[in-house]
Amino acid sequence: MKIIIIGAGKVGYNLAENLSKSNHDVIIIDKNYAALSKAEENLEVLCIKGSGVSTNILMEAGIDTADLLIAVTSSDEVNMVCCLTAKKLGVKHTIARIRDHEYAHELLLLKEELGLDLIINPEQAAADEIANVLNFSSAINVENFAKGRVKMIEIMVTEDMPMRGMRLKDMGSKFESSVLIGVVIRNDEVIVPNGDFIINENDNIYIIGQPSHLYNFCKMFGKVPQKIRNVMIVGGGRIAVYLGKLLVEMGMKVKVIEIDREKCIQLSELIPEALIIHGDGTDEELLRSENIDEMDAFIAMTGMDEENMMAALIAKHNGAKKVISKASRINYISIIKSLGIDSVISPKQITSNQILKYVRGNSVESLYRIIEGQAEITEIVAEPESKILNTKIKKLGLPKDTIIATIVRKNEVVIPHGNDIIKEGDRVIVISKNKNISSLDEVAEVS
């Protein structure tokens, strides 16, 4: 696929890196020479200096033969114009990043009028993800599959959990649970475990199943999700606006701390139900005076990763129960987690996952990538022409480090075994390591 990316910033660079690794023909356009130089030196992509709005630049990039244009500059308006111009010049599909909350209620109209195939709002998506985590507070991360009928949660194995030191195949007989432990992260290594795998302390495990079964599983191991009532947010950017509104609708009491007085005034107008505090969220005295020890959740999401880390550590030290930090730099994520922060949210990763899902095709309903794509959890709809339909899973010859985790069929959610089969229309959740899957026929060949 020939893909043109407008904008060589953090998101554009990350997209170009992932798409070029998947053997797509990638072209980046940006006016910033330094950003282009970084991409040109490190990635196998073609870089063109210029404006993505310019007809001449787009024609130079071969827009009329391109399959997809992705506009991810810092300006919503530029992104919209780039996509509109590209459609007029013959590109097949367009994706625009539109972030401003003022456009939030007009997205469907914008999509139709501009001929956009997909609109990405990283801040809205990040707010949704944080809300999911707060709804299942004992988890580090929460992802929805099959329209919420299946969830995947990430938890860390602690010393007091009885699963520690057990083989996976022994857990089913000892603890009745209809869930699957599909991925384990141990010392930054991603493992797709088999039945003989032994769970160790400090492993991060990814568990898939129905929400009620996941709740019961966590309850068995002392990780019962607690009700979140009081939330403190540091940083009054776009995510804070989306998240504040969401949490208020969920019945939570919200405090937002913002150092910019003008932003505080705007926030008080946009989220009138929240308490807006003018101050420095890394000031320990301020956090204590605002009863940080009574907070069920603390979320640090200023524009600076270092400030977020500091604020999160102070909150953790002072008794906040659930602490979440935003990270713009992907290489900071493992560092932040190692400091004892409960969860890390990366809008850039969320954006990449959404766009990569779209690029994979219509069969891919959901896509979640672990540690920069070392492993993927993909939800795929079984198409009528698929060659693996109505064949027992044990005869599919699944390659190493690939498992079929869940099959969702009408009102039924199945954790499959060897004799189960996949039928047309099933939503199949596949876990794979170092393999980009776009259809079920890529998962395995019938033996």
Tens of pLDDT along 65-99?
999 999 999 898 999 999 999 999 999 999 999 88
Q: May I ask the CATH class of domain 2-120?
A: alpha beta
Q: Report pLDDT for 137.
A: 87
Residue range 247-260: mean pLDDT, rounded? 96
Rounded CA separation 57/62 (Å)? 9
Cα angle for residues 440, 361, 8 (degrees, 5° grid):
130
Architecture in CATH of 230-349: 3-Layer(aba) Sandwich (3.40)
pLDDT per residue over 105-153, tens digit each?
A: 677 777 777 788 888 888 899 999 999 999 888 888 899 998 888 999 9
Residue range 210-234: mean pLDDT, rounded? 89
CATH superfamily of 140-220: Regulator of K+ conductance, C-terminal domain (3.30.70.1450)
The answer to whether 126 and 235 have CB atoms below 8 angstroms apart is no
Residue 12 has pLDDT above 50, yes or no: yes
Helix axes 10-21, 347-360, angle to 10 degrees: 40
Spatial CA neighbour of 133 closest among 332, 346, 278:
346
pLDDT per residue over 365-408, tens digit each?
A: 888 888 777 888 899 998 888 888 888 888 888 888 888 999 99
Per DSSP, 394 falls in state G
Rounded CA separation 298/314 (Å)? 10
Spatial CA neighbour of 313 closest among 340, 331, 273, 333:
340
Same fold, 2-120 and 140-220: no
Contacts of 420 (CB under 8 A, 6+ apart): 392, 393, 407, 414
pTM: 0.85
Kindly indicate the confidence band of residue 175, based on its pLDDT and cuts at 50, 70 and 90.
low
Tokens for 30, please give them.
Answer: 């940006």
Cα torsion for 166, 168, 170, 174, to the nearest 10°?
Answer: 80
Amino acid identity for residue 202 in this structure: N
Tokens for 7, please give them.
Answer: 């904008």
Tokens for 301, please give them.
Answer: 């999401």
User: What are the domain boundaries of the chain?
Assistant: 2-120, 140-220, 230-349
Residue by residue, DSSP assigns 230-290 as: EEEEE--SHHHHHHHHHHHHTT-EEEEEES-HHHHHHHHHH-TTSEEEES-TT-HHHHHHT
Tokens for 13, please give them.
Answer: 């660079």
